[in-house]
Chain A
Amino acid sequence: MTHAVLERPDLKSLFNILQKAGYTTIAPTVRDNVITYENVTDQSELPIGMTDDQKNGSYRLKKRKDKSVFGFVVGPQSWKKFLYPARLKLWEAHRNGKSFSIAKPENEEKKLAFIGVRPCEMSAISIQDKVFLKSTFVDSAYSSRREQLFTVIVNCTEPGGTCFCTSMDTGPRAKKDYDLALTEVVKKDQHYFLVEIGSDQGKEIANKLPLKEASEEQVSEADKRLNEAARKMGKALKTDGVKDLLYENAENPHWEKVAERCMTCANCTMVCPTCFCSTMEDSTDLSGEIAERWRTWDSCFTMDFSYVHGGSIRNSSSARYRQWLTHKLGSWQDQFGTSGCVGCGRCITWCPVGIDITEEIKTLQECDSRKSKSN
């Protein structure tokens, strides 16, 4: 069998087989009018027949005309919250006399299977792998979760209004790093998932699924839809020379103009699947006997972020927006050999004032201060 299909009614078995293999299955589901990723035990909890209408600063769930299972793109939360939790206890100290002893909590040993990872999100996970596993130090909490992870991709046949994965070379079809990849095809008389195997453990699970040999027509239909999707991106970003553009335009007056709109609310960093900044919280119980240290997500948009005695380094909102964008698309490349943006569009959709990363880059490209210098 070169290509295989999973018929729509058999989607149920994907959950069952993964659960039997010891995985906790996490998948998209509707909560509070958005699609989020939660512990989903049965396919019936998926957002069947739903879609999301996304624009700058706006997200709306709608009913679809068909019964697509994955007929939406990405919600405000990414898989990041499972691999890199928003709050994590680093250690606990117990006082004994003048001294104290410090102990680390046991790492949670749950095996997770993510079902419905979008190609851009798989790239985001690979980017966080570079941050937490492949730089100078290893984050043990991340690695214990990541090592046991099973990923089922769902390729995108209908990009959303703020998507630009084609520009970032991360989608709409996943190329690597996954275990299994599905492409959903819904037609009048057919509803199936074309299945691709990405790893040995993917193959092991696939062997247990009730797969059928795919017909040539079924394969080409999926291909056709993915090729069309690549042409239907909501947004585009020209990445050529973008790092130098940002470095050379650090003093461009345009940053002030963005700052007039940006509320430094940090939404963009919270929804971004690659943003990795964190801070520490210390707490003590009333008796002073037990102290704890927690790591929590943080954002370069806060004033405290760059605080050193005497004041913050990045006082103005223009400096903070510039830091975010320059890091995402510029310095990330120097630090980790990859862009920090995968083109998922979340920061555009969830910005309360609709600031658009693709538009800001376009404007900078237009008012590049190097052009005016050479004139």
Chain B
Amino acid sequence: MNTDPMVPDLFRVQKVRKETLDTFTLELSPKQKKFRFEPGQFNMLYVSGAGEIPISISGNPNQPESLIHTTRAVGSVTNAMRKLKAGDYLGVRGPFGTKWPVDKAMGDDVVIITGGIGLAPLRPAVYDILAKRGRYGNVVLLYGARTPEDILYPKEIMGWRSRFDMDVHVTVDRAAGSWHSNVGVVTKLIPKAPFDPQNTTAFICGPEVMIRFTTQELKKRGLSDDKIYVSMERNMKCAIGFCGHCQLGPYFVCKDGPVFRYDEIKRLLEIREV
């Protein structure tokens, strides 16, 4: 292992899987056999010559033999990453950041609310909760995608949905005739979701507007701010608290986040362009 947190380790691409039109999953094999991480943490991924970006770990924390990242191609680095093939190499620094409070949530109902690519950073939390299923109350996943074709991990979602011990509700913004499920924004699923607001922990990952509306709906159900956790996104160049890019008020999202308890950052989310 490198001792300098700014110098990446090399990982070999084992498998590339196309998830949706613009989203793909890389399975990487660590040289050191195991890559331990907590659900919610991220890595800095370096693509030779293109640059380095933060990407959450989307694999199973209880299977550290392979490192899984799901990425949506949106710009220069992510598009260069999309061109990688099995056998290519990638630079990895991490894991960094705070985790989803899977331990603190034990005994509570857990409601996971996310949209689009936001499911990737939450999948490790789902795996972890399902691995210790008996220690939680109801487990609910509310997921929104643009169209049915944009739904991430559809087979896995089907598998979760068919379980008796998990409630999964998926909605899309727009759909053609063959879609027989919910249409509309994900927040619409909150009022009827089966959880006890007095004993629920919520995990949210999505754009800031989505976070705003989701927290409002949860509040209407009676959830208190300190039971809501959100993952924040900021520009990140170092991931270790030096470059300053990820600042959100007094916080460095790279090390004080990305997962925050909502009451800690509520004030900041209300300020324009903070």
Contacts and interface: CB of A to CB of B under 8 A. Distances in A.
A315 interface: yes
Given A99-B89, A314-B273, A135 B250 contact: no
B235 A319 contact: no
Contacts of A91: 6-8
B233 interface: yes
Interface stretch (A5-13, A118-126, A173-181, A274-282): A274-282
Given A251-B272, A276-B244, A98 B88 contact: yes
B274 interface: yes
B29 to A, nearest CB: 13
Interface string A127-152: 00001100111011000000000000
Contact of B10 (A102, A104, A278): A102
A95 B250 contact: no
Interface string B62-80: 0000000000001100000
Q: Chain A interface mostly helix, strand, loop or mixed?
A: mixed
B273 A137 contact: no
Contact of A93 (B48, B74, B75, B255): B48
A20 interface: no
Contacts of A137: 5, 240-242
B242 A104 contact: no
A264 to B, nearest CB: 13
B252 interface: yes
Interface string B7-26: 11010100000000000000
Would you list the 3 A-B pairs with minimal beta carbon distance, nearest first? A277-B244, A334-B250, A319-B273
17 contacts: A90-B7, A98-B88, A99-B89, A100-B89, A102-B8, A137-B242, A247-B267, A279-B243, A279-B245, A280-B52, A280-B237, A282-B52, A298-B245, A314-B273, A316-B273, A331-B250, A335-B252
Interface of A: 90-91, 93, 95, 98-102, 104, 131-132, 135-137, 139-140, 247, 250-251, 276-280, 282, 284, 288, 291, 293, 295, 298, 300, 305-309, 313-316, 319, 323, 326-327, 330-331, 334-335
